[in-house]
Amino acid sequence: MPSTPLEIEFEAAAFRRLLEHLRQRSDVQNIELMTRAGFCRNCLADWYREAAAAGGVPIDKDAAREHIYGMPFAEWKTRYQSESTPEQRAAFAAASKSDHD
């Protein structure tokens, strides 16, 4: 169902707030987001890139990730990404398995 201009404005504002929230919560790792919500910051970057391409504006993967992370992805990884724990990997594997059952 097409959104009205006002709905698009509200959706954009909500998306910007989500990005800001995720930028402030750099303690939450992508693997945790994937396990609990089924998406992560990289998924958002892919969706953003796909939406741009559908609108006729090609954006490469690095530029899309920089938009979502608020900095180059490599910098974010260096600053905030930690090695996943065995427990996180097991939870991710279990969640991934249940998504395919």
Averaged pLDDT of the chain: 94
Mean pLDDT for 49-68 is: 97
Whether the pLDDT of residue 2 is over 70: the answer is: no
User: In the chain, what percentage of residues exceed pLDDT 70?
Assistant: 95
Whichever domain contains 73, its CATH number is 1.10.3340.10
Domain that holds residue 75: 5-100
What's the structural domain count of the chain? 1
The Cβ-side half-sphere exposure at 98, using a 13 Å CA radius, reads 10
Tell whether the model's pLDDT for residue 100 goes beyond 80: no
- Across 66-72, average pLDDT: 98
Q: What is the distance between the alpha carbons of residues 52 and 66, in angstroms, rounded to a whole number?
A: 14
According to the model, what pLDDT value does residue 97 have?
82
Mean pLDDT of 4-26: 96
Residue 1: pLDDT band (50, 70, 90) is: low
Give CA–CA dist 17/23, Å, rounded.
Answer: 10
Predicted TM-score (pTM) above 0.85: yes
